[in-house]
Amino acid sequence: MANQIDMLHGSLMKKLLLFALPLAATGTVQQLFNAADGIILGHFAGSNALAAVGSTAPIINLSINLFIGLSIGASVVIAHYIGQGRSDRISDAVHTAVILSLIAGVTIAVVGICISRPMLHAMGSPDNVIGLSTVYLRIFFAGMPFMMIYIYFSAILRSKGDTKRPLLILLGSGIVKVAVSLLFVVVLGMSVKGVALATIIANFLNSGALVYLLMHEDGPFRLRLKKLKITKEHFIRILKIGVPAGVQSMVFSFSNVIIQSTINGFGSDAIAGSAAAVNYEFFCYFVLNAFGQAAVTFTSQNYGAQNAGRCREVFRDCMLLGAAAMFLCNLGFFLGRSFFVLVFTTDVLVIPWAMIRFSHVLIFQWIASSYEISGQCLRGMGHSLLPAIISVLGTCVLRIVWIFTIFQFFATFEMLMNIYPITWAVTGIATLISYAIISKKEFKKISG
């Protein structure tokens, strides 16, 4: 097939890089364009506008992560069929995933618009921020169908190793997004409304381009409107893998909502500072996520092909590459933190809060590779529930417990930020142990 990586044969390290680097670039470019919104707002609309958009991320993630989990399930199922050489099943799974993307987009749009202001109230959003945040969220959610199409269609292409074309599409739409944001905010003075509308326009272009690609794709990946239906067998398999991953992300986002609510208690300067610093955490995470997606996709295909030895190599190489790349990104941003904060804001009241987050969170973020890579390898073998449970308990529940216990006695911003590296380490140790036990059993089974 065209635009496909042979994950079953040949040099593994080279192919992992061919898969992961465009995906890392996609996430980085996407975050650059999202960061551009913050830069534009911070310099041309003020720190309140920056805080308003920055404080909405936990709500957005809480609303969409279940359905993003389903897209991961679709990618794993399709990759299994590629490894098995089952072209007929690939086509049915692709069309099932397309229907799911439409359902996901409409559902999130309706629910998101309805819950925006109540969620902001529940999070204790300050009076000088909540109005702007509500406007941004409602416009953003209105464009969710386009975003879901892009996410699901990218997952379909990713299952066969095509990570380059989604990157090129994102580059084009992102340039349009920045240009439109500048027009709406700087020229027309539309503030947060302007960047939200620009996001919808970019997502419309993304989704339209991917629909066109799949409708002209070769073989079982071609989108045919007359074949659009949900096939029960594939739907159940997608749910089995995708729901635990999605619920894990939802609970993770819920814990971030609690953390964001606590940050809100420190005032709008802390919100803006945290929002500025967290952009660089996203940059680093997308690099790690690229190798996580490589781990789940390469494991899925080789597990489907019953190649235990190559599955082991996938885990080893992805862990090495992911952890090293993450550490270098963390170190680079940390060493240059004085410069990078100024990219978003020059407000002397905001900068100290950002610096605290750099020193207590970002520099330790590489620890997350321990559970990201091992958890994705487990999902590639069809075990999605256990890594989800471990992450919920280790990363989410522990954070909430920390806020309502330790933090109550030492209510400083530094103590709040400390929960990130602690929970990354706990979750990583537990997930690595689980991978060692389960993979031993699974590899013995498929090796005969």
pLDDT of residue 1: 53
| For residues 238-260, average pLDDT | 80
More confident position, 185 or 423: 423
- Whether 270 shows a pLDDT value over 80: the answer reads yes
- Whether 448 shows a pLDDT value over 70: the answer reads no
| For residues 398-423, average pLDDT | 91
More confident position, 315 or 261: 315
The string of pLDDT tens digits covering residues 37-50 is 777 877 777 777 77
DSSP designation for 383: -
Which one, of 319, 324, 300, 323, lies nearest residue 310 by Cα? Answer: 300
Residues 6+ apart with CB under 8 A from 201: 176, 177, 180
pLDDT of residue 64: 80
Which one, of 339, 298, 334, 32, lies nearest residue 171 by Cα? Answer: 32
DSSP designation for 188: T
User: Is residue 117 exposed (0-12), middle (13-18) or buried (19+ Cβ within 10 Å)?
Assistant: middle
For residue 312, what pLDDT band results from cuts at 50, 70 and 90? very high
Alpha helices in 265-335 (DSSP H): 268-304, 308-335
Residues 6+ apart with CB under 8 A from 170: 26, 29, 30, 206
pLDDT of residue 319: 95
What is the share, in percent, of the chain residues with pLDDT greater than 70? 99
What is the share, in percent, of the chain residues with pLDDT greater than 90? 28
User: Of 81-85, 113-117, 326-330, which gets the smallest average pLDDT?
Assistant: 81-85
Q: How far apart are CA 362 and CA 258, in angstroms?
A: 19
User: Of 1-5, 218-222, 363-367, 387-391, which gets the smallest average pLDDT?
Assistant: 1-5
- Whether 2 shows a pLDDT value over 60: the answer reads no
C-beta atoms surrounding 412 within 10 Å:
11
Residues 6+ apart with CB under 8 A from 181: 36, 37, 40, 194, 195, 198
Mean of per-residue pLDDT scores for the chain: 87
Q: How far apart are CA 266 and CA 263, in angstroms?
A: 6
Instruction: Report residue 135 as tokens.
Output: 């406007």
**282 Rama sector, left if φ>0, alpha if ψ -120 to 50, beta otherwise:** alpha
pLDDT of residue 332: 95
Q: What are phi and psi of 352, to 5 degrees?
A: -60, -35
Q: Which residues of 384-397 are buried (b: 16+ CB within 10 A; e: fewer)?
A: bbbbbbbbbebbbe
The string of pLDDT tens digits covering residues 102-158 is 998 999 899 888 888 888 888 777 777 788 888 888 998 999 999 999 988 988 888
- The residue type of 408 is Q
CB 98 within 8 A of CB 223: yes
CB 115 within 8 A of CB 138: no
For residue 418, what pLDDT band results from cuts at 50, 70 and 90? very high
